[in-house]
């Protein structure tokens, strides 16, 4: 990240008082270090100053001087604050200026209830000092711009990789996400970082209703978010995959596995989405929001017939495709086959995606974007795709032929007749 000549603004939406500073020094500082702690306190002080003088934003060099750090040291400290969910950094797409959103520390109860933060503190302090830190808070009650920005904050698993791997390796013997019920009045991470109404809407499409005020559920989600800032769609997919309809609750062990799978996938996703624009990334997220029949109707302005419906069900069942993947494939077919959604055409690509372990809308969109670029360098009737597997560096050649509708132009066939022929290829 380049900070030279960039300006900054600071936003604080939560009250941060002296008790928060005590929490910061005793629970967060052992993990992030004194330099990052100093930066956090400096940002709070700067917010108060900027509120008073109401001047034009300063350049970030001012923060280097105030904290007596180099640009490299400043960036490293900032990433630590982001990883512990104390700061969210947003960068203006046009100017590169920064907006720092300052978040209050978790209450002691919520901090110790968060297994990731709790175990990392234990490892940093050692058992004796860790128990002393817990004792400090044992009897204490809890407290209470016009530019378009995109968030660039990093996550706990990126900055404290060794600590997280140590915690994750305990899965066989303990449950990472089990935590005592906290009665803190503080805002949970899941409420700070997620639009829970959107999550509720997404899981409701799978006939799941959930009370996010429930302490067990909010602690479960907050622990996942402590590892990485998953978005609403990702959290919803984890809930859906781990929900037990028989018990009407999240299976904690399965949820834990889904989080770790998503963490691994997100690292791969960062590589593949490098070729996608911000608009394409947003579109891929939107594709995961709609069920396939609704998306088909939106795409073609017509209702899906029995061939389409049954074909989609078969693809989802056979290749474990998500709705986002299928919707992405339908749109690709629509664009490549003169406004037609060809089930067999989609199925052929879905099989390749399944073999390549590409299972998110983002991955598939990037994959098909590469295929579309490849078409410009090949024969008109085919697309040759160079695809790199995430699990190996092996490069394979795959061909996807478009259906030739023109050969039927002089026949007395309806569009539905042609679709039947295409689907029986």
Residue 197: count of CB within 10 angstroms of its CB = 10
Note the pLDDT tens digit of each residue in 378-412: 444 443 333 333 333 333 334 444 555 555 444 45
Per-residue pLDDT reduced to its tens digit, 162-213 = 555 565 555 444 445 444 433 344 567 788 888 888 888 888 888 888 888 8
Closest Cα to residue 238, out of 226, 224, 248?
224
Question: What was the pLDDT predicted at 378?
Answer: 45
CA dist., res. 398 & res. 352, Å (int): 8
Beta bridge partners of 383: 400
pTM of the model: 0.46
Helices (H), 33-160: 34-53, 61-67, 71-83, 108-113, 115-125, 127-136, 156-159
Q: What is the pLDDT at residue 173?
A: 46
CB 329 within 8 A of CB 364: yes
pLDDT at 362 exceeding the cut of 70 = yes
Q: Which residues contact 63 (CB under 8 A, 6 or more apart)?
A: 8, 39, 42, 43, 46, 74
pLDDT score of 227: 77
Check residue 151 and give its pLDDT.
56
* 256 burial type by CB count under 10 A (0-12 exposed, 13-18 middle, 19+ buried): buried
79 touches 155 (CB < 8 A): no
3-state DSSP of 294-359: HHHHHHHCCCCCHHHHHHHHHHHHHHCCCHHHHHHHHHHHHHHCCCCCCHHHHHHHHHHHHHCCCC
What pLDDT score was predicted for residue 288?
80
End-to-end CA distance of the chain: 51
Per-residue pLDDT, 142:
41
Token pair of 281 as six digits: 């990334």
Q: How many helices (H) and strands (E) does the chain have?
A: 22, 8
Q: Residue 286 above 70 pLDDT?
A: yes
């Amino acid at each position: 990240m380049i900070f030279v000549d960039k300006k900054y603004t600071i936003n604080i939406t939560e009250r941060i008082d002296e008790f928060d500073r005590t929490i910061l020094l005793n629970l967060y500082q052992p993990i992030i270090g004194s330099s990052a702690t100093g930066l956090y306190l400096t940002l709070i002080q700067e917010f108060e100053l900027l509120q008073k003088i109401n001047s034009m934003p300063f350049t970030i060099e001012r923060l280097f001087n105030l904290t007596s750090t180099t640009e490299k040291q400043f960036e490293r400290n900032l990433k630590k604050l982001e990883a512990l969910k104390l700061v969210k950094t947003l960068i203006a797409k046009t100017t590169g200026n920064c907006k720092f959103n300052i978040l209050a520390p978790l209450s002691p109860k919520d901090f110790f209830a968060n297994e990731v933060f709790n175990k990392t503190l234990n490892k940093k302090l050692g058992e004796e000092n860790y128990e002393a830190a817990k004792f400090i808070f044992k009897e204490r009650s809890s407290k209470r711009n016009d530019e378009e920005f995109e968030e660039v904050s990093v996550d706990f698993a990126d900055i404290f990789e060794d600590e997280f791997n140590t915690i994750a390796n305990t899965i066989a013997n303990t449950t990472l996400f089990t935590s005592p019920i906290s009665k803190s009045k503080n805002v949970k991470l899941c409420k700070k970082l997620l639009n829970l109404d959107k999550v509720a809407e997404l899981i409701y499409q799978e006939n799941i209703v959930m009370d996010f005020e429930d302490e067990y559920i909010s602690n479960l989600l907050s622990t996942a978010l402590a590892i990485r800032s998953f978005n609403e769609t990702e959290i919803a997919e984890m809930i859906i995959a781990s929900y037990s309809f028989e018990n009407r609750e999240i299976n904690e062990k399965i949820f834990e596995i889904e989080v770790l799978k998503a963490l691994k996938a997100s690292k791969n996703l960062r590589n593949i989405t490098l070729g996608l624009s911000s608009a394409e990334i947003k579109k891929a997220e939107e594709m995961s929001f709609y069920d396939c029949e609704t998306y088909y109707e939106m795409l073609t302005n017509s209702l899906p017939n029995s061939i389409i419906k049954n074909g989609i069900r078969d693809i989802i069942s056979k290749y474990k495709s998500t709705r986002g993947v299928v919707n992405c494939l339908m749109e690709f077919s629509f664009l490549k086959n003169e406004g037609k959604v060809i089930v067999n055409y989609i199925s052929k690509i879905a099989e390749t995606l399944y073999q390549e372990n590409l299972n998110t809308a983002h991955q598939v969109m990037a994959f098909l974007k590469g295929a579309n670029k490849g078409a410009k360098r090949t024969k008109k009737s085919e697309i040759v795709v160079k695809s790199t597997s995430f699990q190996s560096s092996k490069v394979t050649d795959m061909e996807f032929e478009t259906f030739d509708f023109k050969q039927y132009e002089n026949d007395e066939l309806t569009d539905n007749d042609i679709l039947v022929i295409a689907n029986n290829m």
